[in-house]
Structure 1
Amino acid sequence: MQVGEHTLFVRQDGPSDGRPVTLLHGFPTSSHDWSLALPALVEAGCRVTTLDFLGFGASDKPHPHDYLLTEQATLVEGVWAALNISETDLVAHDYGVSVAQELLARRSDRITSMAWLNGGLYPDLHRPIRIQKLIHGPIGGLLSRAASERTFSASLRKVFGRPVADDVLHEMWVSTSSNRGKRVQHALLQYIDERKVNAKRWQQALESYAGSTLFVWGTADPVSGGHVLPRLRERLPDAEFVVLDAAPPTGHYPQVENPDAVGAALSAFLRRGELPKQAD
């Protein structure tokens, strides 16, 4: 889909008259992260829109380019306009949580409910792993170009709590590295700084949102895991929580590591039914 000056990969699943749901993916992969949990949403009657952010997956990966979360939010709005989506439930993970916070800050009235998976909602609680810090730094461009599927998979396994099949990791690598994707990783990771600049605005958007809110959270995540939950419970006392701590506990990618639990939690929440037994 052409959105402004860029071509984005966009997909829709489910009945054309189903409840609109938009899924926002994380760094450094793509909307394909949702593929294992998505069937549950389709079965629940949702019309699911997924897209690859600019610089990710099958979307354009311009270089050089100043990748901004605020631009990604504008592109999401462009997709909604092209697909005649006036209101939607929104589900966000990792990098996508910041895009979702910006969308809430702009027009929360068009977000009918909000579900969050592990992500840096509060910059002071975000704990990037070593390779992220290195790629974010001054030699990050060189390091990202030198990455291989082996080093990529090893890094991802450090943020997983559960085993993930090699073929799934391969798909994640392909989405990241295709179309010369390695060369844009350093620029994409500057989102860490943008989160800090917009921290107050985005925190306000999160905490003031009046719609139904669900957190589906993997506790074995070293980046944005169990250590974030106390603040979420304190600041959003009316939110619902599905904490994925059953052995083996889920890590940073709940929809990849534990897709059945994530699909069940999201579909129940979106149908306004009772939450599954993992809820506390």
Structure 2
Amino acid sequence: MPSVVEIAVVVLSVATAVFLLYPAPPLSKRLSSWKQRGKIYKHNGLEVFYIDEAGSGTGTVFCLHGFPTFSYDWIKVMPYLKTLFARIVLVDFPGYGFSEKPEDYKYSVFDNADVVENLAESLSISSTHILAHDMGDTVTLELVARFKERSGKKGLVLQSMCLLNAGLFPGKFFPRLVQRVFLIPVLGKIAARFTFFEGFRRGGFAEVFGTKPTYEDFEDFYAAIRYRDGNLALPGVLNFIKERHDNEDRWVRGSLKTSPIPVLMVYGPADTVNPSPTFPNQFRKIAPQHKLIVLGKNIGHFPQWEDPETTGKSYVEFIKGLRSSKSKQYEAGSGTGTVFCLHGFPSSSYDWIKIMPYLKNQFARIVLVDFVGMGFSEKPEDYKYSVFDQADMIENLAESLSISSTHILAHDMGDTVALELVARFKERSEDRGLVLTSLCLLNGGKRGPAGFGDIFGTNKPTYEDFEDFYAAIRYRDGNAVLPGLLHYIKERSDNEDRWVNGVLKTSPIPVLMVYGPADPINPSPTFPDQFRKVAPQHKLVVLDKSIGHYPQWEDPENTGRSYVEFIKGLKSKKPKQ
């Protein structure tokens, strides 16, 4: 009777013979038509397939696909691209699609970036937008790194990047089993020789979709992989996963976090490789300044295939916004230096509108930010809202805007975020990081909020003002996140020693407190007495008894003038030797 080993050898031999004798599937009419639209470019002696199509818009876009697919991924969003751009360039990277696929080639993200730059030069393209997916996102980040390094020198100019689902963050994305097998030396090469259609359709590749492709779609994806024996190259092309780990600092912190060009992320949350809420939370933490669009919960790893309409329209809106908008991420003033304005709960950056004239006279840059979960920022219900996370966002935003030092003007919850920023500033000592110049706090308390209408003094907002406050809260279903946002109240109690005793009491920077006494959250005389007790060295301005919790809204004139006087005093003082 044959042994188990002998049976296994026979089965493996039969499977090998079947697979080796089983030819790669023919190209469908759809794929044949796509192939006929393209041309061949020679890169390092390899044939690289690309399509260069004309559109009715302006400018150029390069479309960079992911693993294990090819340029055909973009066919469903081509109508949107053709209305936007004059040229749409779609490339199959070496080892993919209709490009050459040698098994022994040294596949690399860096080499793929060379392909894009060299192809652009051969096509006389000097500037381009980038639309990318999966591995193509990583190639894009390498292109951005090079663009930053050139700093005005001759080379491909990048105008914007739109990224779709990708494992951008090492340790927070989860390659499928088949990918992990392909990455195992020797075993990966053996496994690549047994890439059967049914295993492909039902296995790892199918798992990444939320809304599944049709049977015919799977046939096309599979045929493109098998074309030119591409299955043999799969272990090699997967080298990009290791490169992501090795170059995290260059690509995530260097290119994504501090991108010199506008960024849009379109994300399908039903993605087993980059699951929700892990991916969107990490993206918001690393790059809060960039726009993130989360698609329907049934959309997975391939937004451009599963939901081409929303993906296409989102991209059109993004590009049109860049072309038509003259808005900046900050307001310019006629003074010197920078100020960050941090609002409170439950409102938004709009809180500062009445004192903007005072700020514009005093500073060169005024940065007003809506915290995550508030105003016009994204408001995910399952996000872990935290003072620490909001402080991260401010530091990351400052870095992305190349702001190395700033004054802080804060109110309510923003006061607490400001105190956390000061705590970090103290801890850094001489280390590199955001330098804080001064701190101005408006009514902020330890206790929880009262009813919104109750916290104002006698100078209450108008009916229209209340409508605006309410609309900002309800925008993007913000009412659903209010319980999560209020976590800062517990954090105040938990971190009293760090923020009150460690920062307010011993602040290394000048502090001004502007206080409205008709505030039921922080009543008088309890609040001013406690402030004088804890921090007698800091200046306290008490406004009229009719002014409540919102000094900047209820009495913008005295609030603004008090702040201007404070800042002018700091600027006029000469540092002692």
Q: TM-score range by the shorter chain?
A: over 0.9
Counterpart residue number, 2:271: 221
Counterpart residue number, 1:2: 42
1:178-214 CA-to-partner distances (Å, cap 9, x unmatched) read: 0011111111112211111111111111111122110
Question: Match of 1:79, as an amino acid?
Answer: L
Taking the TM superposition and a 5 Å limit, the aligned residue runs for 1:135-146 are 135-138=182-185, 139-146=187-194
- Is contact 2:56–2:83 with CA below 8 Å preserved after alignment? no
Instruction: Give the superposition deviation at 1:16.
Output: 7.8
Counterpart residue number, 2:91: 51
Q: Distance in 2 between matches of 1:45 and 1:97?
A: 20
Task: Return the match for 1:190 from 224, 239, 257.
Answer: 239
Taking the TM superposition and a 5 Å limit, the aligned residue runs for 1:40-189 are 40-108=80-148, 110-138=157-185, 139-154=187-202, 155-189=204-238
The higher relative CO (CA closer than 8 Å, separation ≥ 6) is in 1
Instruction: Give the superposition deviation at 1:266.
Output: 1.2
Task: Return the match for 1:234 from 279, 282, 285.
Answer: 285
Task: Look up the SS of the partner of 2:257 in the other structure.
Answer: helix
Question: Match of 2:269, as an amino acid?
Answer: T
Task: Look up the SS of the partner of 2:103 in the other structure.
Answer: coil
- Is contact 1:33–1:172 with CA below 8 Å preserved after alignment? no
Instruction: List gaps (5 residues or longer) in structure 1.
Output: none
**For structure 1, which segment, 20-29 or 103-112, has the greater mean C-alpha deviation from structure 2 after superposition?**
103-112
Instruction: Give the superposition deviation at 1:46.
Output: 4.4
**For structure 1, which segment, 197-206 or 13-22, has the greater mean C-alpha deviation from structure 2 after superposition?**
13-22
Task: Look up the SS of the partner of 2:97 in the other structure.
Answer: coil
Instruction: Give the superposition deviation at 1:3.
Output: 2.8
Q: TM-score, normalised by structure 1?
A: 0.93
Q: TM-score, normalised by structure 2?
A: 0.46
Query: Structure 2 vs 1, CA of residues 20 and 225 (structure 1 numbering), >3 Å: closer, same or farther?
Result: farther
Query: Structure 2 vs 1, CA of residues 65 and 4 (structure 1 numbering), >3 Å: closer, same or farther?
Result: closer
Task: Look up the SS of the partner of 1:179 in the other structure.
Answer: helix
State whether structure 2 residue 290 is matched by structure 1 residue 250.
no
Task: Give the structure with higher Rg (CA).
Answer: 2
- Is contact 2:57–2:82 with CA below 8 Å preserved after alignment? no
1:13-55 CA-to-partner distances (Å, cap 9, x unmatched) read: 2338732111110001101011111111112344211000001
Task: Look up the SS of the partner of 1:9 in the other structure.
Answer: strand
Question: Match of 1:152, as an amino acid?
Answer: F
Question: Match of 1:78, as an amino acid?
Answer: N
- Is contact 1:118–1:225 with CA below 8 Å preserved after alignment? no
1:95-129 CA-to-partner distances (Å, cap 9, x unmatched) read: 11111111111114711011110002111212111
- Is contact 1:250–1:257 with CA below 8 Å preserved after alignment? yes
Q: Distance in 1 between matches of 2:218 and 2:189?
A: 22
Question: Match of 1:215, as an amino acid?
Answer: M
Shift >4 Å, 4+ stretches:
none
The size of the alignment, in residue pairs, is: 274
**For structure 1, which segment, 65-74 or 224-233, has the greater mean C-alpha deviation from structure 2 after superposition?**
224-233
- Is contact 1:225–1:252 with CA below 8 Å preserved after alignment? no
Q: Distance in 2 between matches of 1:45 and 1:181?
A: 32
Note the aligned Cα RMSD (angstroms).
1.8
Q: Distance in 1 between matches of 2:256 and 2:197?
A: 35
- Is contact 1:89–1:113 with CA below 8 Å preserved after alignment? yes
Task: Look up the SS of the partner of 1:65 in the other structure.
Answer: coil
1:206-253 CA-to-partner distances (Å, cap 9, x unmatched) read: 11112211010000101023221111112212211211124xx21011
- Is contact 2:110–2:139 with CA below 8 Å preserved after alignment? yes
Query: Structure 2 vs 1, CA of residues 132 and 125 (structure 1 numbering), >3 Å: closer, same or farther?
Result: same
- Is contact 1:114–1:211 with CA below 8 Å preserved after alignment? yes
Counterpart residue number, 1:267: 316
- Is contact 2:56–2:84 with CA below 8 Å preserved after alignment? no
Counterpart residue number, 2:255: 205
